[in-house]
Amino acid sequence: DAKTTQPNSMESNEEEPVHLPCNHSTISGTDYIHWYRQLPSQGPEYVIHGLTSNVNNRMASLAIAEDRKSSTLILHRATLRDAAVYYCILRDGSGNTGKLIFGQGTTLQVKP
Amino acid sequence: DVKVTQSSRYLVKRTGEKVFLECVQDMDHENMFWYRQDPGLGLRLIYFSYDVKMKEKGDIPEGYSVSREKKERFSLILESASTNQTSMYLCASSRTLAGLAAGNTIYFGEGSWLTVV
C-alpha cells in the first residue's frame, strides 16, 4: 500500500488560512487522495478527495501537484472547531473495496 | 445523511469473555470495515467486507473474527477477550459504484470504547 507523509503537528491562528501538506511519492495512477479529520472522542469524518484535478467543497480545497506526488489541504479560514487530527490517505482504485490505510496524521491546533 | 451506528459506545468486559461489537449502516453500502485506534499507533484495519458473507483480513486480524450475514450489518467478534484488545473500535462503510470504491466517501461510526479487565 502506498504511504503518505505528513507533519506531526501544525498551528494556526483563528480566521487565517491553513495549508496542510502531504507527500505521497509512491502514489500509483489509480490511487485516490482522501483527507479525513478526527475530532476528539469521535470517529473520523470525510473532508475531501480527488484524483488528479484540484477540488473544492464547502469544507476545504484540495490542491494536487501535477505529478501527484504531493497534495495540500487548504482550510480557507480556520475556526476553533477545525482543531483536529487531519489524515491524508491514498485509496487504491484498482481493487473493489478501496480500503483506507491511515498514517499518523497532522494534529492541527487553532489559536484564538 | 448516511448513518453508521455502533451498538455500544462504552463496554467493560472480563478477560476470556466473548465480545460482540455490532455495526449497522443505513445507506445500502457494499463495503464495511472495522478499525481499532490506539495512542501512538493510529487507526489500523482489522477486517473488511465487500459483500454479504464475504470478508478479508486487514493488517491486524489476529484474535478477531467478523460476520456479515446481512448487507447492513457487520459484526466484530473477540472470541476470547484479552487485555491487549482494550482499545477504541471504529466501524465504517462505503459504496462501490460501477466497480469502483476508491472514489467514494467512507463513513465512520462514533466508535466503541472497549476495556478488557
Find residue B34's DSSP bridge partners: B47, B91
| Residues of chain A contacting residue B111, judged by C-beta atoms under 8 Å apart | 41-43
Q: How many residues does chain B have?
A: 117
Name the DSSP class of B30.
S
Q: Which residue of B has its CA nearest to A92?
A: B102
Sheet with strand A55-56: strands edge to edge: A18-23, A70-75, A61-64, A55-56
* For chain A, percent of residues with pLDDT exceeding 70: 94
pLDDT average per 10 residues of sequence, chain B (117 residues) = 88 97 94 92 90 91 97 97 97 79 83 97
Contact B94, B31 (CB under 8 A): yes
Average pLDDT, chain A: 90
Whole-angstrom distance, CA of residue A40 vs CA of residue A22: 22
Among A46, A51, A105, whose Cβ lies nearest the Cβ of B105?
A46
CB contact under 8 A, B111 and A34: no
| Residues of chain A contacting residue B35, judged by C-beta atoms under 8 Å apart | 102
The 10s digit of each residue's pLDDT in A3-51 is 899 999 999 999 999 999 999 998 888 888 999 999 988 999 999 999 9
CB contact under 8 A, A43 and B110: yes
Contact B109, B91 (CB under 8 A): yes
CB contact under 8 A, B43 and A44: yes
Whose cell is 480566521? That residue is A15
CB contact under 8 A, A43 and B42: no
